[in-house]
């Protein structure tokens, strides 16, 4: 919630829209990469998502960011390492990452 409040109150709208807006063709991958070091459960990302939507980010970009936080985070990979081999983790990250990118671009394309 604190990150959402910081985004809402202190991050300039122009900066958020220039990085994650429709005009940037690399917005979805950039937001996915930004989401990987973060860790939260799905409900914990809602304040951040609400703040990003209020700043003007497209729905697909925000969805990709949210899914990257919950599915591809570094702590998640550390947990998976206990039960999966590195090759299988790489396959998981590749497949899930491709799906997240598809969802992000798809929603941005159809909801614009």
Q: How far is CA 44 from the centre of its chain?
A: 13
Question: Taking the model in full, what pTM does it have?
Answer: 0.82
Q: Considering its fold, how many domains does the chain have in total?
A: 1
pLDDT in tens, 22-81: 888 899 998 888 888 877 777 888 888 888 888 888 999 999 989 998 899 888 898 899
Geometric angle at alpha carbon 7, from 20 and 1, rounded to 5°: 120
Reading the block at residue 112, the tokens are 């614009």
Residue with tokens 């159809």: 110
Is the pLDDT at 6 greater than 90? The verdict is no
Residues 47 and 5: beta-carbon distance below 8 Å: yes
Tell which wins on pLDDT, 102 or 17. Answer: 102
Reading the block at residue 42, the tokens are 């799905």
Reading the block at residue 23, the tokens are 């005009």
Confidence of residue 106 (pLDDT cuts 50, 70, 90): very high
Tell which wins on pLDDT, 11 or 112. Answer: 112
Range of the domain at 17: 2-110
């Amino acid at each position: 919630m604190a990150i959402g409040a910081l985004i809402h109150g202190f991050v300039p709208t122009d900066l958020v829209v220039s990085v994650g807006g429709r005009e940037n063709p690399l917005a979805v991958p950039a937001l996915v990469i930004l989401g990987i070091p973060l860790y939260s459960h799905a409900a914990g990302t809602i304040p951040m998502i609400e703040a990003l939507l209020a700043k003007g980010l497209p729905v697909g970009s925000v969805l990709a960011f949210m899914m990257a936080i919950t599915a591809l985070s570094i702590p998640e990979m550390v947990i998976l390492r206990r039960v999966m081999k590195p090759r299988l983790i790489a396959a998981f990250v590749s497949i899930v990452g491709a799906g997240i990118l598809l969802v992000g671009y798809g929603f941005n394309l159809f909801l614009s």
